[in-house]
Amino acid sequence: MCPYADPPCPPKSEGRCVSDSIDHQKRIIFADWLDAMRRGAIDLMSATLARDVVHHGVMPGLVCPDRDAILENVRPRAGNLPPVDARELVAAGDHLVLSARAPGVGIPVDGSDRLRGQASTVFAVRDGKISRMQDYLHRCDALDAVAAAVESAQAGAVNASAVGADCRSF
């Protein structure tokens, strides 16, 4: 049975649980991960992460190699997220792009302390858990990465060219 299934999953088909649908994956990111982060519920955040999860930040040295490092990194922000003007979740295959736009988001990268006002993370979901996170400076780069991943996996159900086609409309 898949975690978080509601109702219980039907039998696995082609090695994947039916609850690993795009809607279920969106729920893992929005309802489980983000809600737990918003509430500062570290234990619930931990439950959404695969044991071997890795988070790559926008700078080469910003890598959290495992679940404990990820939780330690988000702990200071958990329960204290800035207000967000816009949120978007784009799903394609086993990947989801979460983009947020607000004055209080986006790591500074130009040597200043000024936040960039946007943040995009590509999430990979495996077996009902977040298995990889990759941050991008720009939404278009995140969408392009997902389109490339979908194309390389030859996911016939997703039109990879449509994923990154209008990346500036957010």
pTM of this structure: 0.74
- Give residue-wise pLDDT tens across range 116-161: 668 889 999 888 899 999 999 888 889 888 887 766 664 444 444 4
Return the closest-CA partner of residue 51 out of 77, 24, 70: 70
Domain residue limits, the chain: 18-154
CATH of the domain spanning 18-154 = 3.10.450.50
Please check whether residue 50 is in contact with residue 128, taking contact to mean a CB–CB distance below 8 angstroms: no
Q: Where are the beta strands (DSSP E) in 2-71?
A: 49-56, 63-64
How many other C-beta atoms are found inside a 10 Å radius of the C-beta of residue 130?
Answer: 23
Sheet strands side by side (includes 86-92): 63-64, 49-56, 129-136, 118-126, 95-101, 86-92
- pLDDT per residue, tens digit, the chain (170 aa), is 223 233 333 343 344 443 457 777 777 777 788 888 889 999 999 999 999 999 998 877 789 999 999 999 889 888 887 777 878 888 877 888 988 887 766 776 666 666 666 888 999 988 889 999 999 988 888 988 888 776 666 444 444 444 444 444 44
